[in-house]
Amino acid sequence: MIVQSVVLTGAAGRVGSVLREPLRRRVRRLTSIDRVPMVAQGPGEECVQAELSGAGPLEPLVAGADAVVHLAGVPDEAPLPDLLDGNVLGTHHVLEAARRQGVRRVVLAGSNRLTGCYPAAQTVSAEAPPRPDGLYGVSKVAAEALGRLYADKFGLEVVCLRIGSLEPEPTEARHLATWLSPHDCAGFVWAALTCPEVSFRAAYAVSANTRRFWELDEHLGYRPRDDAETYRDRLPEPAAPAHRLQGGAYATPEFTLPHISA
């Protein structure tokens, strides 16, 4: 697929900040959207301050685009109403605006936390049933379901990237399996934008970590370059795999209980 014009939501966030410059260099027009003000990083980028409050206001922003990369939303564990509003309704607004304007492809930011309650000793593919490690993971299950609905019912091309632990370098033992380097993040997103013959795909975006516990999707055509093992000597020894879940601390009751209303 040839991509010349991309809309990037959540452009000021952690993932968006990594993607803006690589995308700007590859496309003719990049529209970066966030609720906070931004300054264009160079020619071809337009920055728009906006809320994803409905499909209608988004339509003029996505009109004429080849693709949308949707990253905006609540980025971590939170009360379920906030997650439904930011991650589920926000995704619905983007998909609906894309449908109305005839945008061909939408790349959704999924999360590895969608399967965080699988044992760390098990290798998981994107075809495995969801086992979210918290309310945030539940919201990402729903967002993926919306993406599949819009692919099946309305013919959008939708790729859900289950993003790993995006950091400049690994900072904790869990990252030996889950790390996603900035270089590999940009590579996965570009592959999701351009790979041919897509209806709906869910795929993990994770670096080539020796200890990773997710299968890579060969159809995307991107092979990650970096390996967290390079940083092994700087990190504490991980827990025994038989006694932990892929989500690590995210999968504990203590991580979610503060966000559940009485």
pLDDT on residue 262: 55
pLDDT on residue 236: 80
pLDDT on residue 238: 64
pLDDT on residue 65: 98
Domain boundaries defined on the chain? 5-259
CA–CA gap between residue 136 and residue 141 (Å, rounded): 9
pLDDT on residue 237: 73
How are beta strands 157-163 and 200-205 bridged, if at all?
A: parallel
Sheet holding 200-205, edge to edge: 45-49, 29-34, 5-9, 67-70, 105-111, 157-163, 200-205
Q: Assess if CATH 3.10.450.50 describes domain 5-259.
A: no
pLDDT on residue 242: 44
Token pair of 50, please? 């906006």
Give strand pairing partners of 165: 179
> What's the number of CA atoms in the CB half-sphere (13 Å) around residue 160?
24
What are the residue ranges in the chain where pLDDT is below 50? 242
Which residue of the set 118, 136, 204, 250 is catalytic?
136
* Angle 132-33-7 from CA coordinates, rounded to 5°: 85
Active site residue 136: yes
The neighbour count for residue 262, using CB atoms within 10 Å, is: 2
Contact indicator for 91, 131 with CB cutoff of 8 Å:
no
Contact indicator for 88, 29 with CB cutoff of 8 Å:
no
